Structure 1
């Protein structure tokens, strides 16, 4: 904290002769940023970094209100935010040396096709659990998300709600893309029926597991590894099919100090900068495969994972998917789990047709021109769009509620 108070004081003092300043806009924790700022300033003592910290949801608004002026480098863990900045023509092409960085992880891009921004680190989706707890329950750590649809996992899963937990929308969509729209949603219904839902204001998924309110949690590697490093007796695994969420960095067109900005971005993606991501205070996944060499940590580039994911498609339907998740699952979770439990209380021979009936997904996959998809996509910027998206969600909430209740009545009348 003293480091940042000092920075605020220094910003008001004249620079020494030959020195220059660089303004960095970021939403990363100040602990992480302090390591990068101090390392960069030690390497470039003639450049001082002034940190402009904003929450992720406030950073774009601040840039928009100021038309991108007064900031040199933007560093946010949000591919979506950088796509918006590119669409608004706020970013300038990067002229950096990044030959050692791969263009992608599987089918997942690690830099913009027009070189407007580049990934600085990434986080992958997977499962956190305590091995002894699973062994005690006679459960095996899943290799695929689909294994969590088994009723043996009933009430043992902690699952984040995508409309309330920032990292969850991509978690949901990666399975929809991998399995197909109908099959993917059917699997999420079954997994959700086995789950405790974790929403805004709840404990972290990892805390749910450590406190034995769940036996396994759906989360990001960063949260799991930080928990383990803090003494949590847990383990994290990537399912065979998953996605990685890259965090970009870029330079604004109206940057006042382009030369210093390029030096900072170059430092972040350099081998020393990427190695700094492994610091115990940070624990992020580097995008430079060479940094993993000789270290005992999971290397996403070396794991046999299926990482095919269309991030543009995922971003287009992010809010649409979240509205559907709430309609089918969040708003009807108690009824869904009641039906699920009732089905599995019947003789095993009766399970397949009833499960199929419950998990049949009735909503068609939208294209990018779908009116409700576009309304949900614009819901946070437009009152009319928000009302249309809410009406769409309410319609399907009632449809799912009626479907679950009808099936429950059918089971109870047998």
Structure 2
């Protein structure tokens, strides 16, 4: 949990006093700790409202957005609603879902996130109140999906890069996601982990649903061979680009547009180009300050909030600009993504995040041997067949598509609920088996590559004319 600039200190222990003194001190300490754990307020007067403005009940906003963005919105909101108090509780998308579904304290009034998967999941659990104005979606569909119903802005996923570094390293400019698999990009690409970033989970699901389950995981594992790193948060990709740690990254467009290096903005290519993803804001059905929650939602969906999106430091796509976009839910199943979220996150870690070195070694060798294979003779055909087997072995996935959203498996990986303790040991064994199977598959695939190399070498030794 990361409340805005909140410092929590533990009280020193004590003993030896009278019992009633110890109990009173304990109660006082627990009360102080409970107050300290509340998210830090961004009060109206702190954000530019007149001093002495009447203070109402605070509206607690649970958000995945970084603090600078939240403060910019708080300042604009306080000008429109002087005297009202907003409190932001900053968490990752996955932590937001768990916070709401597990009814953790402090109880939030509003959820504000860039992940439509999170909005779909919370709506499915009937935890979101229907907004008084349904964004732009109500005019485009008779029954809009939850992410469009609760939209306040849109964003695009794709490739970001530093033009100066790409030029300095002699790299081709990325043209699409497939281009990132080229040998030129080995060790040059970064992305964040879907376990810690809702937008990266969205990217992974976009790949899986666009290419299909098996082909999607094949793409992700081949991409792993070119990854320089998997960052802890989505913000780590543009920050790493800014510091020159890698030249190319995968992420969301507004992070690229708000990151500058030596006065130059990062380049960004939306991929797929026509996909716009709704970012959401919604009052919770369990909100204690429902009136304040509705006002905050109305502000972001209204004229003042939409005008704020055009600020270069905000750089989101307003609702009006997305009205002509094809509804993404026509091609993307948010509920499917929500249902199998925890399974996909666990699979990605075991197949990609924790296997980067193995993938780098295998795919480098696979390309090297592939470049040696030429001609149409028996040796070349056999070598290509072996390389094809190696590719299929290296890109396998230990879970079938239908299993990923099976209720029994979903329960095992659900972070909440009464089954958590009972399932922990089984979940750990299952993830360990995925990790071990992936490493064994890559080792077997590597052996097939070496067979292909030896087959070509033997053919060349027998017939030098083939060189």
**TM-score, length of structure 1 as denominator length:** 0.78
Match of 1:121 in 2: 153
Alignment check: 8 A CA contact 1:210 1:232 kept: no
Structure 1 position 149, deviation (Å)? 1.8
Structure 1 position 269, deviation (Å)? 0.5
Alignment check: 8 A CA contact 2:77 2:299 kept: yes
SS in 1 for 2:249: strand
- 1:222-251 deviations in whole A, cap 9, x for unaligned? 221121388355311112368554332222
Match of 1:91 in 2: 128
Match of 2:460 in 1: none
Higher mean C-alpha deviation, range 88-97 or range 62-71: 62-71
Alignment check: 8 A CA contact 1:159 1:205 kept: yes
Residues 1:386 and 1:165: Cα distance change in structure 2 (over 3 Å): farther
Match of 1:23 in 2: 59
Do residues 400 (structure 1) and 438 (structure 2) align?
yes
Match of 1:365 in 2: 401
Residues 1:14 and 1:108: Cα distance change in structure 2 (over 3 Å): same
SS in 2 for 1:91: coil
SS in 2 for 1:285: coil
SS in 2 for 1:25: strand
Q: Show structure 2 runs of 5+ residues with no match.
A: 6-39, 375-379, 455-467
Residues 1:157 and 1:34: Cα distance change in structure 2 (over 3 Å): closer
- 1:97-133 deviations in whole A, cap 9, x for unaligned? 64587658xx986434xxxxx1122332111112343
Structure with the higher helix share, 1 or 2: 2
Match of 2:282 in 1: 250
Structure 1 position 260, deviation (Å)? 4.7
Higher mean C-alpha deviation, range 139-148 or range 247-256: 247-256
- 1:270-303 deviations in whole A, cap 9, x for unaligned? 13211102324433332332xxxxxxxxx79569
Alignment check: 8 A CA contact 2:41 2:88 kept: no
Match of 2:27 in 1: none
Residues 1:326 and 1:228: Cα distance change in structure 2 (over 3 Å): same
- 1:7-41 deviations in whole A, cap 9, x for unaligned? 6999xx9985xx85451323244433333334334
- 1:305-329 deviations in whole A, cap 9, x for unaligned? 9983212111222222222222222
Match of 1:293 in 2: none
- 1:152-172 deviations in whole A, cap 9, x for unaligned? 322221232323444322211
Residues 1:348 and 1:241: Cα distance change in structure 2 (over 3 Å): farther
Do residues 197 (structure 1) and 256 (structure 2) align?
no
Q: Quote the Cα distance in structure 2 between the aligned partners of 1:212 and 1:69.
A: 39
Which of residues 169, 176, 183 in structure 1 aligns to 2:208? 176
Alignment check: 8 A CA contact 1:326 1:393 kept: no
Structure number with greater Rg is 2
Q: Quote the Cα distance in structure 1 between the aligned partners of 2:79 and 2:235.
A: 38
Q: Provide the aligned length of Structure 1 versus Structure 2.
A: 393
**Residues 221-232 of structure 1 aligned to structure 2 (within 5 Å):** 221-228=253-260, 231-232=263-264
SS in 1 for 2:260: helix
